[in-house]
DNA sequence: GTGAAAGCGCTAACAC
DNA sequence: GTGTTAGCGCTTTCAC
């Protein structure tokens, strides 16, 4: 950084000191403890700073004083609103303490994630917030081992000295199912994603548990349709196939996320199944367009902004002792037209 | 950064040198020019690095060598897929040269933007890519003046020594209108946002110009409905109002973006106007859910990933002389069911 | 209230 | 091929 890109050297504290006719110590004092400098000298120094367009060098500053105001975050997919909402939460909390966020997207690629973590560590960030990709937990643990604070997002921590902020997916699925049960439905389809995803496993557990606790036998009352991927096209195709070979159609459907619900809605309408008349539909995530569909979608909302905010808060208070380190939030059901009224 | 967060000091090159029984110069050579070190010593040093879990200090490195591999980007809204797609494009190009992205969201707040720019400058980033918010161009120009390379995104540069990557919004609107004209429509609604936004002005210019060039009098063939904000609810309300007071309804509608198109679709269906039978609808941006609606939406797609990629490419090649510095891309029309077939 | 000087961790120039 | 050393720009004692 000693030279401007293709231009002359950037002015340093020494240049400012020379210009103002003071020592570098005094310049540093003006920068960091202005009250300890006489108004007259301070004015001269500030003038020189202005004159030379001096901008502090953060590298030198951090090297000398150890001051760290950057936090690194790695999320699974920066193009997914679920993660960007959380990022906003992180950013908002960090801004309160004049910290800033360095945001990266791992794309669920453990190698990419490792690369970013190494980068953060070299930069000496204040800490790292990460939504771990499959099997990448070890790298995070090692990072913590080496002295960098770590907070897990959307994933419960397996060890006590790493904090985590997650959402109760079992509870979220219960919310959805209880809602449909309360409306009077007795037969259900559960459109779920691959069981290699923790979220899908947890939500399935919630579905089964709720049915059982309400006196239903899942083997009787529940049809499970499984998808390879949590996207609309996969759901559309699967629902088409399923409708074609089904004789006794349930009256309610719970989808593992809103994208699959979208595909399901399309397929159902294609086949003349009216929503919510013939079939009540509930999604998960409450993404931005859930409320904007022709038939607005009932969905389980996760407190995304709060999740990010809390993770950042936890990181900044890392040094405080005796705090709860594994936080779990409860999701919330947003009822809209797609689940209709009691039948 | 000298200490781990709450722990012991991080090992430095000196520690590694001691452990391996060599000098710091040799350690540095292993790190930066491994070929210049004998295999035996290199092995010893690498062992020591492993043993001590040594991680380079990026601040010291940058301070000394001036090496810079970070690029800063400020976008208007990190929660908007349009910007995150561009960010992915930036990231992908940077990765090719082993650079990394520091991404911030200005929320269209010039003060927030200024804060981030200052931060980037203090960090001595390789350069800055920014989607300028209203009236924030001066800060960017000053930054460039002080020696930091700048590339503008989604905004044409007003000065020759700042590069820019933008999309032709006039042309995009023409694509949409020509499509509707080609289908045989002769009367149109244009659902536009506030004319304080450059995009809205440009798209309006494109609409007017296209109608005129195809022999229509905009005053006759075009109804303009203006919104305060480019979101679905504003569009829904405005379209309801408009439908209530209109007697001669046009057969085609062009919306300034997909969110407004979504609101319009909802209002139209509410009022019994069928899509595309009674009204053909075209949106703008081709956001992810445009293809997933009950009636998939015809939309004007911007090459978002390419925009980001190109901006990053421009920044990395900043030093190369004689290159085109103001790039403008052409959008592309994605035809789907909402605009139907010829009438 | 101000100045002189040490040193953060690293790289690169120069000895050997 | 390896060691020694200066110094990047800054903050921070410690004198005065």
> pLDDT per residue over B1-57, tens digit each?
434 555 678 899 999 999 999 999 999 999 999 999 999 999 999 999 999 999 999
Q: What's the number of domains chain A is made of? A: 3
The CATH number of the domain holding residue A108 is: 3.40.50.2300
Identify the pLDDT of residue A3.
42
Name the nearest CA neighbour of A157 among A137, A143, A135, A139: A137
Cα torsion angle, B305, A301, A257, B267, sign: negative
Does A248 fall in a domain? yes
Shared domain check, B193 and B313: no
Q: Is residue A257 part of a domain?
A: yes
Report if residue B343 sits inside a domain: no
Q: Is residue A75 part of a domain?
A: yes
pLDDT of residue B45: 95
Instruction: Decide if pLDDT at A305 tops 60.
Output: yes
Q: Where are the beta strands (DSSP E) in B56-198?
A: 70-75, 100-105, 127-130, 150-153, 163-167, 188-192
Same domain, A198 and A296: yes
Query: In this predicted model, what pLDDT tens digit does every residue of B166-205 receive, in sequence order?
Result: 999 999 999 999 999 999 999 999 999 999 888 899 999 9
Phi and psi (nearest 5°) for B172? -65, -45
Q: B159 lies in a domain? A: yes
Q: Does residue B305 sit at the A interface (CB-CB below 8 Å)?
A: no
**A320 vs A99, A168, A315, A316, B6, CA distance in Å?**
18, 26, 10, 9, 11
Q: What per-residue confidence (pLDDT) applies to A322?
A: 60
Neighbours of A314 (CB within 10 A): 25
Contact B9/A at CB under 8 A:
no
Q: Is B321 on the interface with A (CB under 8 A)?
A: no
Residue nearest to nucleotide C2 (CA to C1'): A26
Is A273 an 8 Å CB contact of chain B? no
Over the stretch A184-210, which tens digit does the pLDDT of each residue have? 999 999 999 989 888 899 999 999 999
Residues 31-70 of chain B within 7 A of strand D, judged by CB, are 36-38, 40-42, 60, 63-64
Does residue A189 belong to any structural domain of this protein? yes
Instruction: Say which nucleotide is closest to residue A63, CA to C1' distance.
Output: C8
Q: What range defines the domain where residue A18 resides?
A: 13-56
Both A142 and A181 in one domain: the answer is no
d(CA A272, CA A125): 55
Chain B residues 120-139 with a CB less than 8 Å from chain A: 121-124, 126-127
Protein residue ranges contacting nucleic strand C, Cβ under 7 Å: A 21-26, 29, 36-38, 40-42, 60, 63-64; B 1-2, 9-10, 12-14, 24-25, 27-28, 31-32, 54, 56-57, 60-61, 63-65
In a shared domain, residues B89 and B51:
no
Instruction: List all nucleotides in chain C with at least one atom under 7 A from a protein Cβ.
Output: 1-14
Q: Which of B5, B32, B56 is the last residue of a domain?
A: B56
């Amino acid at each position: 950084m000693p030279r401007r890109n293709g231009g002359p050297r950037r002015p340093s504290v020494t240049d400012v000191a020379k210009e103002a006719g003071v020592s570098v110590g005094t310049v540093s004092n003006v920068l960091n403890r202005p009250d300890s400098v006489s108004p007259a000298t301070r004015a001269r120094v500030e003038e020189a700073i202005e004159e030379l367009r001096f901008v502090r060098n953060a590298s030198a500053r951090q090297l000398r004083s150890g001051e760290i105001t950057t936090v690194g975050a790695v999320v699974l997919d920066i193009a997914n609103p679920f993660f960007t909402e959380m990022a906003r939460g992180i950013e908002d909390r960090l801004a309160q303490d004049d910290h800033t966020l360095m945001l990266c997207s791992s794309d669920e690629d453990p190698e990419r994630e490792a690369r970013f973590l190494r980068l953060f560590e070299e930069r000496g960030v204040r800490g790292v917030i990460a939504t771990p990709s499959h099997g990448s937990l070890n790298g995070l643990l090692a990072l913590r081992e080496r002295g960098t604070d770590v907070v897990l997002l959307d994933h419960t921590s397996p060890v006590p000295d790493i904090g985590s902020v997650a959402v109760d997916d079992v509870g979220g699925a219960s919310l959805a199912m209880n809602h449909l049960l309360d409306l009077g439905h007795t037969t259900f389809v559960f459109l779920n994603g691959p069981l290699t995803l923790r979220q899908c496993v947890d939500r399935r557990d919630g579905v089964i548990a709720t049915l059982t606790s309400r006196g239903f036998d899942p083997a009787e009352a529940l049809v499970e349709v499984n998808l390879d991927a949590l996207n609309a096209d996969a759901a559309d195709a699967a629902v088409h196939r399923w409708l074609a070979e089904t004789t006794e159609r349930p009256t309610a459907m719970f989808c593992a996320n809103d994208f699959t619900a979208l595909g399901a809605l399309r397929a159902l309408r294609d086949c003349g199944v009216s929503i919510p008349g013939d079939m009540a539909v509930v999604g998960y995530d409450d993404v931005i367009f859930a409320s904007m569909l022709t038939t607005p979608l009932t969905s389980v909302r996760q407190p995304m902004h709060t999740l990010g905010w809390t993770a950042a808060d936890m990181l900044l208070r890392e040094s405080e002792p005796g705090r709860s380190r594994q936080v779990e939030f409860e999701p919330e059901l947003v009822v809209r037209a797609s689940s209709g009224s009691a039948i």
